Amino acid sequence: MIEQLTVLAKDDLPFPPSVEDFFLPAIYPWGEANSPWVTKFTVLIWLAVAALIAFFLLAYRKPKLVPTRGQWMAESVYGFARDNVAKEIIGHEGVRFAPYLATLFSFILLTNIFGIIPFIQISPMSHIAFPAFLAIISYVLYNAAGIKKHGFWRYLKSQTMPPAPKVLYPLLIPLEFFSNLVLRPFTLALRLFANMFAGHIILLVFTLSGFVLLASDNFFIKAMSPFAWLMAIILTLFELLVAVLQAYVFTLLTAVYVQTSIATDH
């Protein structure tokens, strides 16, 4: 066993891990690098969508007064998004947005958790395209909600002109415009992307460095490799925490942005 591992380790190990480790060979056409067609991420996204649709449909096919386990899980996910996010942040108007927030939360949570499920072990969210698209959807949603409520010019005014002395406006208006209407989708996408990206890199570092240490000729360095793998296991649990937290945070921030765009003037 150890012999095999050592032989494996002496092969050209991809250490240290780099950005290239995120560009896996395509599934169709098989093995092609940088393919725009079907990759592991495509499959994972479709899998996540299918699993969520199936889960919510099955859990709610025959709703019972005393919920079964599946129904209870679906209800608590939706109840969490409605009561703890939508109602708490946006208020009573927020119930309208609860379906979107619940979908967003469960989709991000599932795709994040793909990062630590054995044999999948990479999250589609570690490619900027997927978080970026989710951020665009949220961006369009909260701007549309604000424009629908206030009208275009009043919405623009409420977003860029906070109550302040007139002297400060030349400074405030560009700043508020930049932070409220330009920067928000970027940070929203980047936060999720960077967390998943960094998480995958961290797991790669510890898993691969276990093999690198094992390939050493020095016995004492060789003996260190189980500790690297132990660290990889501990950090996998840490990644579970990050996955849940980032799904929550993305949903929370979307709700906060919706709230600021539909808030009435004080």
Partner 1 sequence: MTDLAAVTGSLAAIGYGLAAIGPGIGIGLVFAAYIQATARQPESVGLTRTYLFLGFVLVEALALLGIAFGFVWAK
Q: Which is nearer to partner 1, 68 or 187 (CB)?
A: 187
Q: Which residues bind partner 1 (CB under 8 A)?
A: 19, 88-89, 187, 190-191, 193-195, 197-198, 245, 248-249, 252-253, 256
Q: Which is nearer to partner 1, 42 or 93 (CB)?
A: 93
To the nearest whole angstrom, how small is the minimum distance from the Cβ of residue 15 to partner 1? 15
Q: Which is nearer to partner 1, 191 or 222 (CB)?
A: 191
To the nearest whole angstrom, how small is the minimum distance from the Cβ of residue 16 to partner 1? 10
Name the nearest CA neighbour of 24 among 11, 12, 39: 39
Q: How far is CA 3 from the centre of its chain?
A: 39
Backbone angles phi, psi at 93, to 5 degrees: -65, -20
To the nearest whole angstrom, how small is the minimum distance from the Cβ of residue 118 to partner 1? 26
Q: Which is nearer to partner 1, 150 or 200 (CB)?
A: 200
Q: Is the CB of residue 188 less than 8 Å from the CB of residue 5?
A: no
Which residue(s) pair with 38 in the sheet?
28
Name the nearest CA neighbour of 76 among 84, 88, 86: 84
To the nearest whole angstrom, how small is the minimum distance from the Cβ of residue 89 to partner 1? 7
Q: If 0-12 CB within 10 Å is exposed, 13-18 middle and 19+ buried, where does residue 115 land? A: buried
